[in-house]
Structure 1
């Protein structure tokens, strides 16, 4: 049985339990305000040491500054998590970012990610946000997930986030 709960800084080492690997068949690029589909055919591997360290740093930074993490657990094993960043963004300072979101390979397309996204949206709403800001990896699976959960391309790209990950697809979800 899958359970969902708020995660703590002490659980940072559980992030290694996520299997982020996937076969990528299509990616998107933004071109003149439109999504351009580009065929791909490669395997995205699981974490390496450097990736895990960066992930853990981002997780700890957000939680230590007031962000929130929601985890999905199958027994004691972490199978998915999402992090709501602490910093308000946007011209009206009414957006909170989904900073991290991962679902283990064997648990995808079962509603786990949607449940976490909904809980992050509830938390953002309770903090006064009107939108979730999403800087999504450019893969079909990620972009399709966010779009199927009510996100759309944003006209107001966050410059700081764009500069960090310029290949990402920037979206917004109204709360």
Structure 2
């Protein structure tokens, strides 16, 4: 049975146990304001070297400043999580909050958990007065297509600081006022 709940500081190390396994066969890149799909072959297993530790530091800081961390557990195992930072972000005339993290374990994909977590993140953003969520998505076709199916739109001008942190990501936003 799946159990959803707010994540605590003690849960943050569990984020690294989410199974990110994915066979990536296509990715997107931005060219002149348009998404361009290209063939890619990445056998993603686990977390890239140091990424889980780096994420843990950033997410702990996010939690300490009032961020929203939500997880889905299957017994003791964390199988999905989403994080929304509480720092207001003004961009393209919108007051946004950043969706800092959204992952679903390999075995739990296709069950609707990702869509549910995104919907909950949007609801939280709306409750704290945001007009949109800012999303810096990995460029894999599955990831970008997921966000586009769930109402996200391309940012023609990414936020400079967030773009500098993730220049290969696809930068999107999810309006909350529609």
Specify the TM-score bucket, using the shorter chain as the normaliser.
Answer: over 0.9
1:16 match: secondary structure: helix
What CA distance in whole angstroms lies between the structure 2 residues aligned with 1:80 and 1:56? 15
Asked whether the 8 Å contact 2:80–2:105 carries over to 1, the reply is: yes
Alignment correspondent of 1:50:
50
* Runs of 5+ unmatched residues, structure 1: none
**Could you say if the C-alpha distance between residues 33 and 49 of structure 1 is closer, same or farther in structure 2, counting changes exceeding 3 Å?**
closer
1:87 match: secondary structure: coil
Alignment correspondent of 1:166:
167
1:25 match: secondary structure: strand
Alignment of 1:26-45 (within 5 A): 26-45=26-45
Alignment correspondent of 2:4:
4
* Runs of 5+ unmatched residues, structure 2: none
Alignment correspondent of 1:120:
121
2:47 match: secondary structure: coil
TM-score (norm 2): 0.93
Alignment correspondent of 1:140:
141
Report the count of equivalent residues: 175
Measured on the aligned residues, the alpha-carbon RMSD in Å equals 1.3
1:86 match: secondary structure: coil
What CA distance in whole angstroms lies between the structure 1 residues aligned with 2:146 and 2:62? 23
Asked whether the 8 Å contact 1:154–1:172 carries over to 2, the reply is: yes
Q: Does 1:96 align with 2:97?
A: yes
